[in-house]
Structure 1
Amino acid sequence: MKLTTTIFTICLIAGGNNLLFSQNINEDKAKEIIEKAIQATGGKELLNSIKTLYSISETTMDGRKVNWITKEMAPNKGSFEIEYQGRIVYRSWFDGKIGYETVNGEKKLADPEEFKEKLNRKYIMNELAYLDPSLYKLELVENNPDKTYNEIKATSTDGKVLHLFYDAKSYLLKKETKENPDKNAFSTVIYNEYKKFGALTYCSKTTFPTEDGEQIITLTDLYYNKKISEKDFK
């Protein structure tokens, strides 16, 4: 009886070690793919050097052509504006601690639920965050028989789960889905096209599937480390 118990215990330990070994290999493979994605967009040195990001995109809302203007400053400040016929008709922003928005020209506190993911943000470029074990745990999902993409499950420390689909040849991100998106956030983002802005390769055409169809965003201008100051988040 004692011998049987000992053998059973050894088997349990061995099985547990094999599982842990498998999980470590899986996580290492996921990190390797993220590293290649970073290299494909400009390299880790470039991405680490980006402390502000300013973008202007064209889209259509309620049948009208508008511009979406986004501004980001490391580690977690952000601003979003809707411009129509040269006039800012909506603005929301996060100063690093609190979110605000303008309604009919009046500044007021925004719903905290809309800015929850900003609180723990440490990087402008998402791939750098995915490699930070204090922010995310990575797992390579092995369910792609034709090998056209690599799927990575990224679970943040606050419980949010992202599924990231990287092209198997270019290693550029092609699709992102969120299992539990924040309030008023899109659950799926499709990255259609990429182009170079300076040394940075960045998505220039994005699709957000919606209940009514889809929202297509075309990036027209992108600047990093310029055109942004602290006053943009006050």
Structure 2
Amino acid sequence: MKKNALLLLFTLSFSIISRAQTVDEVIENYLKAVGGKEKLLSLKTLRTTGFLKMQGMEIPYIQQQKAPNLQRSVALFQEKSIYQNCFDGTTGWHTNPKTLQLEKLTAEESETLKADIQMLDPFVNYAERGYSVTLEGKMLVEGKDCYRVRLLKKPPPMTNATVAELSSFYFFDTKTYLPVLVRNAIKKGTGKGGYMDTYLSKFQTVNDMVFPFEITQKINGKTTLSISVTQVETNLDLTDQEFAFPG
């Protein structure tokens, strides 16, 4: 009788531990931590204002987004507007870093950008969107125990994206379920084949949703860019024309 009771206790304890570590439970707790699924679904536009910190400079920066995938990011550098990762719903565009002239992206580049900038959190209804998730254990990140979750997106049309390029790794604090680190493959340029680590911190609540106000990007452990957010505004009246290619 005593042996059976101990066996039952062990089985129940193992079951509780296993359930606590399922990927869907981690995702559910994460979504609750940042405001809840319904609140995230209600987010239609977003404006983020702040400063880019790089090479000892602070550059004013504004990013506007509109569901499902319109985006415009602009930095004011030496009295000139520099646009990056802009998308009008069909075509991507940016400021060419060499010529400083505005130009449209190719069809393949536009499809890749479109897949990367979906405004809706990727974990909301992830299965319905053709994504898959895997819990890959725990890791210590920035001194915090974190769940490591792999998100695999479906390949965009007209691209030859690899599984590595379609995968993102999210590291969620096991206590707060807020993301500490997001790791993405570098898809172009000299760093292609490596990973970009994006560290998120200084979370604040805005209209019942939680956003990081400090964002740091690193490649091979070296900081390449930091973003200090000063203001987040939600559900503003933004027109599609605001995201159109100028001219």
* TM-score, scaled to structure 1: 0.76
Q: Counterpart of 1:228 in 2: which secondary structure?
A: coil
Aligned to 2:173: 167
Aligned to 1:224: 234
Q: Counterpart of 2:22 in 1: which secondary structure?
A: helix
Aligned to 1:182: 187
Aligned to 2:216: 207
User: What is the CA–CA distance in structure 2 between the aligned matches of 1:181 and 1:231, rounded to whole Å?
Assistant: 30
Query: For residue 136 of structure 2, what is the amino acid of its counterpart?
Result: V
On the 8 A contact 2:133/2:151 being kept in 1, the answer is: yes
User: What is the CA–CA distance in structure 1 between the aligned matches of 2:49 and 2:117, rounded to whole Å?
Assistant: 23
* TM-score, scaled to structure 2: 0.72
Query: Percent identity over the alignment?
Result: 20
Query: Is 2:89 the partner of 1:83?
Result: no
User: What is the CA–CA distance in structure 1 between the aligned matches of 2:107 and 2:50, rounded to whole Å?
Assistant: 25
Query: For residue 140 of structure 1, what is the amino acid of its counterpart?
Result: L
On the 8 A contact 1:54/1:228 being kept in 2, the answer is: no
User: What is the CA–CA distance in structure 1 between the aligned matches of 2:228 and 2:124, rounded to whole Å?
Assistant: 25
Unpaired segments of 5 or more residues in structure 2?
Answer: 1-17, 156-162
Aligned to 2:56: 63
Deviations 1:25-52 (A, max 9, x none): 89x9212211111111111111000011
On the 8 A contact 2:68/2:120 being kept in 1, the answer is: no
On the 8 A contact 1:196/1:202 being kept in 2, the answer is: yes
User: What is the CA–CA distance in structure 2 between the aligned matches of 1:55 and 1:67, rounded to whole Å?
Assistant: 11
Aligned to 1:119: 114
Aligned to 1:11: none
User: For the aligned residues, what is the CA RMSD?
Assistant: 3.0
Compared CA separation, residues 122 and 65, structure 1 to 2 (3 A): closer
Shift of 1:123: 4.7
Query: For residue 201 of structure 2, what is the amino acid of its counterpart?
Result: N
Q: Which has the larger radius of gyration?
A: 1
Compared CA separation, residues 161 and 72, structure 1 to 2 (3 A): same
Query: Is 2:140 the partner of 1:148?
Result: no
Aligned to 1:197: 206
Query: For residue 226 of structure 1, what is the amino acid of its counterpart?
Result: L
Count, aligned residues: 207
Aligned to 1:157: 154
Deviations 1:97-149 (A, max 9, x none): 11112457753213556544443469523244572343311011125489821
Deviations 1:75-117 (A, max 9, x none): 11111101247x4521131111111124577532135565444
Alignment of 1:128-143 (within 5 A): 128-129=123-124, 131-143=126-138
Compared CA separation, residues 123 and 64, structure 1 to 2 (3 A): closer
Aligned to 2:93: 100
